[in-house]
Each structure stands twice: as structure tokens, then as C-alpha cells.
Amino acid sequence: MSILHRAHFTTSAARLDQLPPPGAPEVCFVGRSNAGKSSAINVLTQQRRLAFSSKTPGRTRLINMFGLPDPLEPERDLGFLVDLPGYGYASVAREDRSQWAQVLGGYLRNRSSLAGVVLLVDIRRGVTDLDRNLIDWIAPSGKPVLALLTKADKFPYGQRIKAQFAVKKELAAIGALHTVPFSSTHRLGLDEATAHIEGWLMPQVAA
């Protein structure tokens, strides 16, 4: 069983200073509202309702942390999955979008326990201007990025490969970048994404 399947809700925070002190490795999930972030977290952890998506896109404003307990010491977490607020939904007030940018940017720049970033991009939309803004925060950090091209089942195989190539080109500013066509409903890319995230959380095991 994957360590991700053991994930449990740990805490929510509206601000960075409300998060627990940095410790065990963290893998954060970021993406435009409606990119399928909650669905991806749920299928990766094999839990239907671990991560929630609001019926109103852009409404979820909390940082949610999910601990991954040590099988030998269940009271101790080996690492965390961190669900950052979805960004960039047009109907949200400008000041709220600015606040989200500060939270996202601050976490990506300053969180010392951050081991890797999972960026969710709707394969049908490709990389948007908002995604490029996010890349401007991620690239200087030097953190590795796994780009999940969500809703990949909507494209035939050949079109998926073309889209994957285009995203790689768009995100070239990120040195350590890996892209995976992904579908929560059809479980496309699930094993590859799981192995990648586990490698960040437990590098001594994956090595």
C-alpha cells in the first residue's frame, strides 16, 4: 500500500503564520480553480472525501495539511501533503486574489520543509497566464515540480503527447520538471504520479 493512502487531515490555516513549524517533508498541490486539484488528491490517497472542492470555484481559501503517519510509529507523521488554495478565478474580488497570491508566494518561497510542488494544469486549457505567474514564484526556489495535466482522458493519446510537449516547453523556466498526463476518473498517470511524490517524501526509501 502506498504511504499516500494513509493520509489524514491534520490542520487548516488561513495564514502562513498559523501553520505548524516546518518539520517533515511537505509536497504541496497548486493549481488554477477548476483544474481538478481536490480530485487528484483524493484519487492519489484513495480517499473519496479527504480534499474538498467548493461548489463555487475559488471559494476554498484555506491551506489544508494532510499527515502521512509512519507505519511503525502512527503518532508520528513522515511527511505531509499540502493543499494550497486554488488561484485566479475571475469572479473573485481583486483584493482577495492579491491575498491568495501572497499566501501562495510566501509558502513557495519560504517554507523550508517544502520538498516538491505538484502543479495541476487542465490539459484542455494548457498553461495560462496565471500559471506562468505561479512559475515566477516556483522557479527561483529551485524546488522540483511535477506537472499533472489533468482531464487527460478528454484527449486521444496522440493529442495528449502533443499537449505534454507544449506544457514542457511553456514551463522550461523550471529546471527540475516532470510532466504526466493525468485523469482522476480514468486513473491515467496515477502510478507514475504516486511514485514521484513518494520519492520526494521518502528519498531514502526511493533511492
Task: Write the pLDDT tens digit of every residue in 64-81.
Answer: 999 999 888 888 999 999
Q: What gap in Å lies between CA 32 and CA 71, rounded to an integer?
A: 34
Instruction: Specify the pLDDT at position 60.
Output: 58
CB 26 within 8 A of CB 79: yes
Is 123 in a helix, a strand, or coil?
Answer: coil
- Distance CA(39)–CA(17), nearest Å, equals 27
Question: In this model, does residue 90 exceed pLDDT 60?
Answer: no
C-alpha cell at 160: 495528449
Comparing 69 with 92, the larger pLDDT belongs to 69
Contacts 24+ apart (CB under 8 A), 18-24: 19/63, 19/65, 19/111, 20/65, 22/111, 22/112, 22/113, 23/113, 24/77, 24/78, 24/79, 24/80, 24/113
Amino acid, single-letter form, for residue 104: L
102-136 pLDDT, tens digit each: 778 889 888 999 999 999 999 999 998 888 888 88
